[in-house]
Structure 1
Amino acid sequence: MTPSRYSRLINFLQEDLAISAASIAVAMRHRAQDPGSLTMILWQYGLITREQLEQIYDWLENA
């Protein structure tokens, strides 16, 4: 993912889905240890709902 698109994803998570900066920071720390998808880490740690996960993947497909 390009830095520009990654930045837009973070903005979407915070602005559209109201995911806290703290939740995103937790996922980013774990992402550094595990190169898996940021969104999957958010979901695995219970920081987003399944519905939010689906919205994120819809956004990723259309962004």
Structure 2
Amino acid sequence: MRARSPQWVNSTVLVEALQRYEQNLLPRSMRLWVEAMLDIDPDAPMQPLLTGQPHSSQV
């Protein structure tokens, strides 16, 4: 059986996932999904994903 992928993502859910990604609070499967959806290199230095909010390393 082929894995299903979402056809759309609720923006509120996506923002919450991005916030948790930046805080390193996502489960591995969700972290991999965010990285794949946004073409994020997990080995690259962390850059803020959400504008208007300071990154945890910038506080």
TM over 0.5: no
TM-score (norm 1): 0.30
Asked which structure has the greater RCO (Cα within 8 Å, sep 6+), the reply is: 2
Larger C-alpha radius of gyration, 1 or 2?
2
